[in-house]
Amino acid sequence: MPSRRHLFSLQFAYALRESVLREPYTRQRFGQDALAGLTVGIIAIPLAMALAIASGVAPQYGLYTAIIAGFLIALAGGSRYSVSGSTAAFVVILYPIAQSWGLGGLLVATMMCGVILVGMALLRLGRLIQYIPESVVLGFTAGIAVVIVTLQLKDLFGLPIGVMPEHFIDKLQVLAEQAGAVHLPSVAVAALTLAVMPLWPRLRSPVPAYLPAVLLASVDALLLAGAGQPV
């Protein structure tokens, strides 16, 4: 079991120095890191773009965030066991900010959150999470899931909706109004992806299911586009 000091430290770049400088970095470790980086990259790139779109901004901003934030966290992180990446839970918070205040307001809110998080780390306030009731966490998570699913229905069915409304009931109303404009090629790509996720583990392959799901969905989209059915 790792010690408490190895789990978390406020020293700058502690995790990087522990994993590279204070221990021998072997070829085997490099191979494992390269495979992990390739696996995460295949998923993180489309995920970052999708979450940027769901947050109400252009997809390239998701790439900027994934690259810059990932680099900074790996460089300055204090834990070797933390996982960083795009978080779907924040879509619910970021979308109304982007709609009301635009990209500039979203960037300001992001910087303010970063300052608050650094301040909480310096004051060791992370342990306060244990005082939040489990029912509150479950309710928050379930609510986020419902909102995210609602946001994804537009892309799943290929509905011609430019900007989704800010409020949940308004979203449902717009989706109902466009229900007759379902785009079948988009539904085909989504159905293939959803089918691969539960079926792939039955092959007992060491490759995670989301990798073939992304690759097969991409090939499907290219074939449909080549057949004159843009997705």
pLDDT digits 0-9 by tens, 76-124: 777 777 777 777 778 878 888 888 888 888 889 888 988 998 888 888 8
Sign of the CA dihedral 164, 165, 167, 173? negative
Q: How far apart are the first and last CA of the chain?
A: 48
In the chain, the amino acid numbered 177 is E
- CA dist 129 and 142 (Å) reads 18
- CA dist 147 and 91 (Å) reads 9
pLDDT at residue 1, as a whole number: 47
In the chain, the amino acid numbered 230 is P
pTM, rounded to two decimals: 0.67
- CA dist 51 and 62 (Å) reads 7
Residues 6+ apart with CB under 8 A from 12: 76
Residues 6+ apart with CB under 8 A from 201: 209
Low-confidence ranges of the chain (pLDDT < 50): 1, 6
Q: Please tell me the number of Cα atoms within 13 Å of 180 on its side-chain side.
A: 1
Mean predicted lDDT score pLDDT of the chain: 82
